[in-house]
């Protein structure tokens, strides 16, 4: 926990940290010392929010890793976002909810090639709701893995999230666990697994981006309960 709290700050966080600090100093100098201290606490929270700790992905290939820190809200079959052009077949979907206290740097879930990117504006409903997958603003990514199978992962804006960042490009080769973007300030990330692949996580489990295994593509017929 100490290492996470003292982790480097993501580059997108520096303008916010600087803004919070300036406001805190102004409040303390020209309004009241109490407000200045409250501003410093807010600045410390901003530093904590934008922390970017190092992660160590598993060495073995063929794994699907959690793309985000947070709590698994749902594991259920669902159609992938239509804008990705994937077959309209229900796939296992793992939905991870990020609170304002989770690390918000997102990581690629599997080795492969980015074959489609699609941004869609939308609402800003509570990201913990099931309908947030269909109605909220989102950035969808289609990933082709070894053997030609496809999976999708989707950054979804939340109730107070107003900014999705995705640094991926179509045709880019990626590795599981590498950073690809972030969402601020509270959000959700969905992963749509290939058909027949059984998730190895359940609702209520806490995820660590780039480290927790969501599924094993090499053994699609096995689940944690088997």
pLDDT in tens, 53-66: 889 999 888 999 99
Return the exposure string of 32-51: e unless at least 16 CB atoms fall within 10 Å of the residue's CB, then b.
Answer: eeeebeebbeebeebbbbbb
> pLDDT tens across 57-106, in order?
998 889 999 999 999 999 999 999 999 999 999 999 999 998 888 888 99
C-alpha distances out from residue 131 to 13, 125, 181, 187, Å: 29, 8, 23, 13
Query: Is the pLDDT score of 193 beyond 90?
Result: yes
Point out the catalytic residue in the list 4, 95, 187, 223.
187
In order of their start, the domains of the chain are 2-49 (no CATH), 63-216 (2.70.70)
Please enumerate in sequence order all residues whose Cβ is within 8 A of that of 116, keeping only pairs 6 or more positions apart, or say none: 84, 85, 140, 141, 142, 170
Give me Rg for the CA atoms of the chain.
19
What pLDDT score does 1 carry?
47
Query: Is the pLDDT score of 127 beyond 60?
Result: no
What pLDDT score does 132 carry?
62
187 tagged catalytic: yes
pLDDT confidence of 123, banded at 50, 70, 90? Answer: low
Bridge partners of 112, per DSSP, are 174
Higher-pLDDT residue of 187 and 12 is 187
Lowest mean pLDDT among 23-27, 46-50, 167-171, 222-226: 222-226
What pLDDT score does 192 carry?
96
């Amino acid at each position: 926990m100490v290492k996470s709290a003292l982790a480097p700050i993501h580059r997108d966080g520096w303008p916010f940290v600087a803004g919070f600090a300036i406001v805190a100093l102004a409040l303390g100098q020209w309004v009241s010392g109490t407000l200045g201290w409250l501003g410093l606490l807010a600045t410390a929270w901003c530093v904590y929010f934008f922390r970017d700790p190092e992660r160590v992905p598993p060495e073995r290939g063929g794994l699907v890793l959690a793309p985000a820190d947070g709590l698994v809200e749902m594991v259920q079959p669902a159609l992938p976002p239509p804008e990705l052009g994937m077959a309209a077949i229900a796939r296992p979907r793992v939905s991870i909810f990020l609170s304002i206290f989770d690390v918000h740097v997102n990581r690629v879930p599997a080795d492969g090639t980015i074959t489609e990117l699609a941004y869609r504006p939308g609402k800003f409903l509570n990201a913990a709701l099931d309908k947030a997958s269909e109605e909220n603003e989102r950035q969808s990514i289609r990933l082709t893995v070894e053997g030609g199978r496809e999976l999708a992962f989707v950054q979804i804006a939340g109730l107070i999230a107003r900014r999705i960042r995705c640094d991926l490009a179509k045709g880019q080769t990626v590795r599981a666990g590498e950073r690809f973007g972030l969402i601020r300030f509270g959000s959700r990330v969905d992963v749509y697994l290939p058909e027949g692949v059984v998730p190895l996580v359940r609702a209520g489990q806490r995820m660590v981006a780039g480290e927790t295994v969501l599924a094993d593509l090499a053994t699609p017929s096995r689940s944690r309960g088997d």
